[in-house]
Structure 1
């Protein structure tokens, strides 16, 4: 009898599938830790939208990395999240662009989240 992904999910956690870019698929392996970053356009007052980026989730376990089933796409990663984190991830996947940042082994530091504005790049 083969074990499935559900056998790897501890009680109180969820496994979600997130598509990978080709670059991410090259470097992320099962057991790696990643940060999930989101990029989006935002306008506070005017109709002018400004690009922004933020780290949505930190120190997330990549449970599995899946090869693409067809010639389209570059595969997917199965992330281990708590129920609140999974809702954040689903909302962001449906409306914004997500990116994964690979952490070095042993790096478990969690930093306060900050939204970066495009204009700050040139200050």
Structure 2
């Protein structure tokens, strides 16, 4: 009888050990997806396919948004004007999803802090988002004036 009891316990031991490993692995913290670091978010931004032509993982980009702004001229008359603003500078590309055809939309995934992610989300809902690729080693941030045709033509 003792031999049968020991055999049953030995047979059950590997199963119990496996269950214990499963329980431990379920409790272990999940690894972040490739490219993500603590305190940052992977934020996807839909952009025109042609903008992704030469873009690759690891590049640094600036994010611009073009939108209709209400402007007040010298006569205090309100008018709509298209404006482009650089809203994010020197952000890292963690993934690129290029479309089959350049005239179709694609997606770029950027590494953003939570505040930057909010501005990116706002931009996609309020205007047309464009990205510009930086040269390798170009990491400087610059104050940028918003661009408009009115300023260009003056």
Bucket of the pairwise TM-score, normalised by the shorter protein: 0.7 to 0.9
Structure 2: runs of 5+ lacking an equivalent: 1-30
For 2:146 and 2:84, how far apart are their aligned partners in 1? 6
Structure 1: runs of 5+ lacking an equivalent: none
Select 1:107's aligned residue among 129, 138, 145: 138
Q: Give the match for residue 117 of structure 2.
A: 86
| Greater relative contact order, per chain length (Cα 8 Å cut-off, separation 6+) | 1
Question: Which protein is richer in helix relative to its size?
Answer: 2
Q: Give RMSD over aligned pairs.
A: 2.3
The answer as to 2:42 corresponding to 1:15 is yes
* Pair member with larger Rg: 2
Structure 1 residue 73: Cα displacement: 2.8
> Structure 2 length normalisation: TM-score?
0.70
Higher mean alpha-carbon deviation, 81-90 vs 13-22, is at 13-22
5 Å matches for 1:1-123? 6-45=33-72, 46-68=77-99, 73-123=104-154
For 2:98 and 2:153, how far apart are their aligned partners in 1? 38
Check the 8 A contact 1:25/1:74 in 2, yes or no. no
